[in-house]
Structure 1
Amino acid sequence: MKLLLSFFLIFPLLLSSQSFEKGEKLFVEGKFNQAQLVLENYLKSNPNHLKTLEYLGDIAGQNKAWDKSISYYKKLENLKPTEANYYFKYGGALAMKSLEVNKIKALGMIGEVRSSFEKAIALNPKHIEARWALIELNLQLPAIVGGSESKAIKYSSELRELSPVDGYLSRGHIEEHFNRNTEAEVQYKRAILIGGSKVCYQTLADFYKNKMKQPDKANKVWEEYKNKNNKGIK
């Protein structure tokens, strides 16, 4: 009798756990709509489950449902205010939302976007993505509302200390933004020399093709990448 009672007490918990694992598997497989249904159902009985909230926030972001995404990430911040990634994701969703509202309302959101990324760095001084986000924010905003080339360069310099490849790529991005194309090319080539990843080559190839309108140079970059890979150099 005791064993039977224990089974009935534990069985709902087992089903609940399986429900989350199923939702997580669907999420990892990129089946976001299916994952959303499973995870939303799981959340009804587990309203403070961090990973479920994060997955649902990510799915909402994939669907550009920024209000829902913001809501999930904000709840995560409240539940675990020491997790840097929650602030980074909240700031990112808020930034995307600001692109869809009128300019006056968007300007009112910028301070919270910036402070969210800065909070992520304060909680995790090695947070690379938050620095990239702050670089882009400082490049895109006019100086009158807080945009700053010097701040963008500061975060790029910090990136170079943490990840030299990211440092050179981000500095190249800054130089390209201000049409200092010779220096941008130098920075992208430095990233290739120390990183050699597909991302590094693609960045330089895209720069030649889209910015410099030199498709032949872009093709040579890809040929170099393919030749190195064929020789076993990753």
Structure 2
Amino acid sequence: MALFCYLFFIVISGPENDFQKAENYFKAEKYELAKTIFESIVKENPKNLKAIEYLGDIAGHYQNWDDALFFYEKLKKANPNEADYFYKYGGALGMKAKDSNKFVALGMIGAIRTSFEKAIILNPKHLEARWALIELYLQLPGIVGGSEKKANEYAAQLAKLSPVDGLLATGHIDEYFNRFQSAEKNYLKAHEIGNSKTTFQKLYNLYLNKLKDKAKATKLKEKFNK
């Protein structure tokens, strides 16, 4: 009986241990080691969506956008109600478009936008998808759908979900259009509320790289480090 229990424990714990090992490799940025184990897990269990997602993330890390899209497409089909799958698919497609020639990229815009919008429909509180749409509307030329107005609409949505994200997004839009004084005000408000590494970095970079105010940058850094 004891032997049976021992063998049973090995059977049920083996795959979980492999997954944990691969996940630990991934977190330690040892992507090749993680990839080998995740591939083995998916080979034995093609329905292990988390392992498939990791494979997509690893492909994205290496900028293998076609591979990333292959895995994220699988995830979308397996679970069409998971917002993150559409968000990641849209992100990988956006990066592929960025690396493609302009004519090919133009043909991808609709699918990119639809993917992010779908993520928000599935999860109305999805912050990252809104950030992605803000960036999309800023980067696109007006003739193919770029719109500061639309970017501001998503920034306003972010503000309702997360005041800090809303302020950072509005500041980012101001910075994109070289309204640096306005960007500073929004970043300052965000930093006062959040006081995080992210809010510090946005304000610090603005002082250092855009306003060219080294004194303000240094003072901010000293205060934050305390």
1:125-204 correspondence runs (5 A) = 125-204=124-203
How far, CA to CA, are the matches of 2:24 and 2:200 in structure 1? 32
Distance in 1, matches of 2:187 and 2:78, equals 40
User: What's the counterpart of residue 91 of structure 1?
Assistant: 90
- The 3-state SS of whatever aligns with 1:99 is helix
- TM-superposition CA deviations, 1:40-80 (whole Å, max 9, x none): 11111111211000111111111111111111011000000
Query: Within 1, Cα distance between the matches of 2:182 and 2:207?
Result: 13
- Partner amino acid, structure 2, of 1:83: E
| Alignment pair present for 1:44 and 2:46 | no
Q: 1:11: Cα distance to partner?
A: 5.2
Which residue is 1:21 aligned to? 20
Q: Whole-Å Cα distance in 2 between the matches of residues 13 and 222 of structure 1?
A: 51
Cα RMSD of the aligned pairs, angstroms, is: 1.8
Deviates more, 1:31-40 or 1:192-201: 192-201
SS of the aligned residue for 1:72 comes to helix
Q: Does 1:33 align with 2:46?
A: no
Q: Distance in 2 between matches of 1:7 and 1:112?
A: 51
Q: TM-score, normalization: structure 2?
A: 0.94
Q: Secondary structure at the match of 1:147?
A: coil
Scaled by the length of structure 1, the TM-score of the pair is 0.91
Residue 232 of structure 1 corresponds to: none
Residue 107 of structure 2: SS of its match in structure 1? Answer: helix
User: Comparing 175-184 with 218-227, which one deviates more in the overlay?
Assistant: 218-227
Structure 2 gaps of 5+ residues are none
The letter for the 1-side match of 2:123 is: N
Tell me what 1:226 maps to.
225
Question: Does structure 1 retain, via aligned residues, the 8 Å contact 2:81–2:122?
Answer: yes
CA distance in 2, matches of 1:3, 1:46: 29
- Give 1:201 deviation, angstroms: 1.5
Between the aligned partners of 1:177 and 1:22, the Cα distance in structure 2 is 42
Deviation at 1:219, TM superposition (A): 0.9
Deviation string 1:120-144 (CA, Å, 9 cap, x unpaired) is 0000000000000000000000011
- 2: distance between equivalents of 1:38 and 1:222? 42
Structure 1 stretches lacking a partner, 5+ long: 228-234
- What is the CA deviation profile of residues 145-200 of structure 1, one whole-angstrom value per residue up to 9, with x for unaligned ones? 11100000000001011000000011000011111111111111110121111211
Counterpart Cα distance in 2 of 1:221 and 1:8? 60
The residue aligned with 2:58 is 59
Matched, 1:69 2:36: no
Q: Percent identity?
A: 50
Partner of 2:216: 217
Instruction: Report if aligned partners of 2:41, 2:48 keep a CA contact under 8 Å in 1.
Output: no
